[in-house]
Structure 1
Amino acid sequence: MSRPAPLASFAYTAADEEKRRGVRRMKATATGLLLLVALIFTLATWAKNEGIDGWPGYVAAAAEAGMVGALADWFAVTALFKHPLGIPIPHTAIIPTKKDQLGESLGSFVGENFLSADVVRARLSGLALGGRLGAWLAEPAHADRVTAELSTALRGALAVLRDSDVQAVVGEAITRRAETAEIAPGIGKTLDKIVADGAHHRAVDLICARAHDWLTVHGDSVMDAVQGGAPGWTPRFVDRKVGERVYRELVRFVTEMRDAPNHPARGAIDRFLADFASDLQADTDTRSRVERMKSDMLSRPEVQDIIASAWSSVRAMIISAAEDERSELRLRARASLMSFGARLATDGRMQQKLEGWIEDAAVYVVTTYREQITSLISDTVASWDAEHTSRKIEAHIGRDLQFIRINGTVVGALAGLLIYTVAHALGG
């Protein structure tokens, strides 16, 4: 299995080098303290060998134990990052040699102690997210911010989508829905209600008025059409008389129909529409004809183009509304967010329901993808360069580690002094 490429973000940087200089200063301090106790030990030992009794023994014992403590802690601190004195002693240079194992252990530790269902639920239940979210959304400034972010996300999503793909999907969906839904009964019910309410009378009035106006303007055309349809053996003056009579009767009929609401022709139209509405709902043959007409209309290229182009209009409308801060879409979204936030901030049942959804979603994520999350940690650590990792970690925590050396020197000296004092007292 190939190892991931090293991550540039974990490379040793100039900032790390600045911290490393501070580490070197602390190293010099700890080493200086070691040399100081070594000098004290040397002087105390010399004084003791010169026959001076009393304090030289105590000082020498303290200095000797201080040197031991300093050297032991120096070895322990150095062994974390490299081999002491370059000697490959077992269990030294722990970070560069055990980096991958440390990453796996860290991933397992996180998975077992942080990515468990009980831990996630306990942590989320204590946050009271429902009330906090509600109070936050109820603030106008926060609602504006969320609305702006949602608008940006919506515009981005619409920009990513390919118009041709969406048009094809929309066209197919509309066509399939229209083909599977029978429209005749619905049209029949609508027409039945229109006739019952008399709503069609205005349409009949308009048609009669327009027909009268047209006949008034195009009387010659009507008479010419009647004369043109007459037999060739009839005299011309007879054809003209017939044409004039037909025209006058048409004008009279349309005028009466226009001016008389109770005209028999209007009643005939009412009965026809009522019968047609009933046939649309109950007559199998009529319903089949309507469905065939619907299928023929849907299959026409012009209709398909209109359906497909509907997406372009909707997309442009949504983008325009999302970009305009005062658009009805954004104003309604903002108002809805604030209303939802105000209700959420005070409604305990809604808070519990929302928090339950959040907890369930978080538990599902951590339990389903726990291995992927922990492997991300171990793989990331494995991708780090060993030398850079060691130097970077030392730059960040090395200064504190040098205090371990200093403390070891001081504690060792005190322990050595105490042991020497107790031993001298018991032996003396």
Structure 2
Amino acid sequence: MGEPGAGQVEWMERSKTGEVAADDSVHVSALTSGPGVFTAADEEKQRGVRAMKAIATGALGVMALIFVLATWAKNSGAGGWAGYVAAAAEAGMVGALADWFAVTALFRRPMGLPIPHTAIIPTKKDQLGQSLGEFVGDNFLAGEVVRGRLRSLGIGARLGTWLAEPEHADRVTEELATALRGALTVLRDSDVQAVVGEAITRRAEAQEIAPGLGTMLEKIVADGGHRRVVDLVCTRACDWLDEHGDSVMDAVSGGAPGWTPRFVDRKIGERVYRELLRFVTEMRDMPEHPARGAVDRFLTDFAQDLRTDPETRERVERLKRDVLGRGEVQELIASAWSSVRGMIVAAAEDERSELRVRARASLLSLGARMSVDGRLQGKVDGWIEGAAVYVVTTYRREITSLITDTVAGWDAEHTSRKIEAHIGRDLQFIRLNGTVVGALAGLVIYAVSHLLGA
């Protein structure tokens, strides 16, 4: 691990004396995470930087030694070549020193001197983070850049080809089922029941039902759909009269005046029962029975009243409000969610359920179509591009603030050390290049000056 910087040492000393407050949490986080902590990979990079620094410094030393020897040789009358070598070595030293200053000034103050515009990364960290965030926002989060990149990927075609594979459709189906179960588990029954109950009640109260009922009843009568109901009622009435004839006769006899003889009451009861049974039997067995026609006319008139008669419509609305206002109905509406949720959860958990089978088949069909249908691919690409562009243009500031806020939370000294560990090795090549280029430039300048002087 790297040695602790000044900020970290200060925090360590404060922690020993119990002076670390809650406000220091951000600073502590910056020192114990992110660029403030040297990993094993960082240490390895740092060793590479040290090695390159030694090489670059060694090149400076070599140039200094060559300059000293060449100057001595020139003063000793060794010949004209010594001047060329001395000039090259001198320029090489200048280039090496200039590039050493430039590279060092990025991370610290050269030799600790308070020279302006040095220690750029530690002192300008926040500004660099702001500039980096603006650069990313302007060049990577621009709407046209995002749209063009997504269009070049051809997501619609790729997604279609991927979904057309059965194993991929199975995977998506499984993930959707898991997400559905999770969502239903998180939702509280009481909340959903309240919402469902309120929505159904509000929708029912806002919509007048009488005209719709009238139209539906009119169509049923016109299609003869009510006749099976009449047949069922007549059949059940005949069966009931056969089984409960005595009850009917007793009811008729019991309603007779007390002064009439009992045998007369009995005769009247039997006559009423026989006539009632005959009427119901004829109505059951005769499709064209007049009573059936009366039922048809009654239902037709009632359907017409439901659609056009204000009084009838108002009565239906009052009945609807009375029914909806009953506690039993509200409990029934609310309990419907529990049943629906139970069915959905069971279907989501069962791999052979109709829900999952249909979902898988739909995904396979969608994938097969999307893989060959250019028009559908274009629609999917357009949806994805539009969504992505909306996100990056609407929340660009929030996205780039992740960069600026993160950089602002870093410890300046440790940030500098970590950046140097990652790019310092390449920067040392600048020093080497400066040494070589400076030497060549000095040699060329010295040679040209001598030629022109000659």
Q: Does 1:33 align with 2:24?
A: no
List aligned pairs for 1:222-233, cutoff 5 A: 222-233=248-259
Residue number in structure 1 paired with 2:10: none
Q: Distance in 2 between matches of 1:186 and 1:423?
A: 106
Residue number in structure 1 paired with 2:338: 312
Residue number in structure 1 paired with 2:132: 106
Structure 1 stretch 151-160 or stretch 78-87: which is displaced more? 151-160
Task: Give 3-state SS (helix, strand or coil) of 1:302's partner.
Answer: helix
CA deviations over 1:347-389 (Å, ceiling 9, x no partner): 5555555544444444444443333333333222212211121
Structure 1 stretch 249-258 or stretch 195-204: which is displaced more? 249-258
The one-letter code of the counterpart of 2:252 is V
Residue number in structure 1 paired with 2:36: 11
Residue number in structure 1 paired with 2:9: none
User: Given that residues 90 and 442 in structure 2 are in contact (C-alpha distance below 8 angstroms), is that contact kept between their aligned partners in structure 1?
Assistant: yes
Residue number in structure 2 paired with 1:190: 216
Q: Does 1:89 align with 2:95?
A: no
The one-letter code of the counterpart of 2:247 is S
User: Given that residues 67 and 409 in structure 1 are in contact (C-alpha distance below 8 angstroms), is that contact kept between their aligned partners in structure 2?
Assistant: yes
- Measure how far apart 1:117 and its partner are: 4.1
User: Given that residues 34 and 410 in structure 2 are in contact (C-alpha distance below 8 angstroms), is that contact kept between their aligned partners in structure 1?
Assistant: no
Distance 1:135 1:287, change over 3 A: same
- Measure how far apart 1:401 and its partner are: 0.9
Residue number in structure 1 paired with 2:101: 75
Residue number in structure 2 paired with 1:291: 317
User: Given that residues 185 and 280 in structure 1 are in contact (C-alpha distance below 8 angstroms), is that contact kept between their aligned partners in structure 2?
Assistant: yes
- Residue among 57, 81, 86 paired with 1:60: 86
Distance 1:51 1:308, change over 3 A: same
CA deviations over 1:183-230 (Å, ceiling 9, x no partner): 222222222222222222222222222222222323333333333323
- Give 5+ residue unaligned stretches, structure 1: none
Q: Distance in 1 between matches of 2:309 and 2:445?
A: 114
CA deviations over 1:92-129 (Å, ceiling 9, x no partner): 11000011111222223333333444444444454444
- Residue among 409, 417, 425 paired with 2:443: 417
Structure 1 stretch 82-91 or stretch 146-155: which is displaced more? 146-155
Residue number in structure 2 paired with 1:405: 431
Task: Give 3-state SS (helix, strand or coil) of 2:63's partner.
Answer: helix
Q: Distance in 2 between matches of 1:364 and 1:259?
A: 71
Q: Distance in 1 between matches of 2:234 and 2:390?
A: 69
Task: Give 3-state SS (helix, strand or coil) of 1:168's partner.
Answer: helix
Residue number in structure 2 paired with 1:393: 419
Q: Distance in 2 between matches of 1:207 and 1:51?
A: 137
Residue number in structure 2 paired with 1:384: 410
Q: Distance in 2 between matches of 1:272 and 1:109?
A: 79
Q: Does 1:301 align with 2:327?
A: yes
Q: Distance in 1 between matches of 2:417 and 2:345?
A: 51
Q: Distance in 2 between matches of 1:101 and 1:312?
A: 56
Residue number in structure 2 paired with 1:250: 276
Task: Give 3-state SS (helix, strand or coil) of 2:425's partner.
Answer: helix
CA deviations over 1:229-260 (Å, ceiling 9, x no partner): 23223333333333333333333333333333
Q: Does 1:207 align with 2:233?
A: yes
The one-letter code of the counterpart of 2:308 is A
Residue number in structure 2 paired with 1:265: 291
- Aligned Cα root-mean-square deviation (Å): 3.0
Distance 1:389 1:165, change over 3 A: same
Task: Give 3-state SS (helix, strand or coil) of 1:52's partner.
Answer: coil
User: Given that residues 283 and 291 in structure 2 are in contact (C-alpha distance below 8 angstroms), is that contact kept between their aligned partners in structure 1?
Assistant: yes
- Residue among 158, 162, 165 paired with 2:184: 158
User: Given that residues 12 and 391 in structure 1 are in contact (C-alpha distance below 8 angstroms), is that contact kept between their aligned partners in structure 2?
Assistant: no
**Identity rate of aligned residues, in percent?**
76
Task: Give 3-state SS (helix, strand or coil) of 1:33's partner.
Answer: helix
Q: Distance in 1 between matches of 2:147 and 2:24?
A: 35
User: Given that residues 3 and 382 in structure 1 are in contact (C-alpha distance below 8 angstroms), is that contact kept between their aligned partners in structure 2?
Assistant: no
- Residue among 282, 291, 298 paired with 2:308: 282
Q: What is the TM-score of this pair, normalised by structure 1?
A: 0.87
Q: Distance in 1 between matches of 2:304 and 2:162?
A: 57
Q: Distance in 1 between matches of 2:380 and 2:145?
A: 19
The one-letter code of the counterpart of 2:230 is V
- Measure how far apart 1:16 and its partner are: 1.7
- Residue among 267, 277, 281 paired with 1:241: 267
Q: How many residues align?
A: 427
Task: Give 3-state SS (helix, strand or coil) of 1:261's partner.
Answer: coil
User: Given that residues 138 and 340 in structure 1 are in contact (C-alpha distance below 8 angstroms), is that contact kept between their aligned partners in structure 2?
Assistant: yes
Distance 1:371 1:345, change over 3 A: same
The one-letter code of the counterpart of 2:134 is S
- Measure how far apart 1:70 and its partner are: 1.8
Distance 1:223 1:369, change over 3 A: same
The one-letter code of the counterpart of 2:226 is H
Structure 1 stretch 338-347 or stretch 300-309: which is displaced more? 338-347
The one-letter code of the counterpart of 1:221 is S
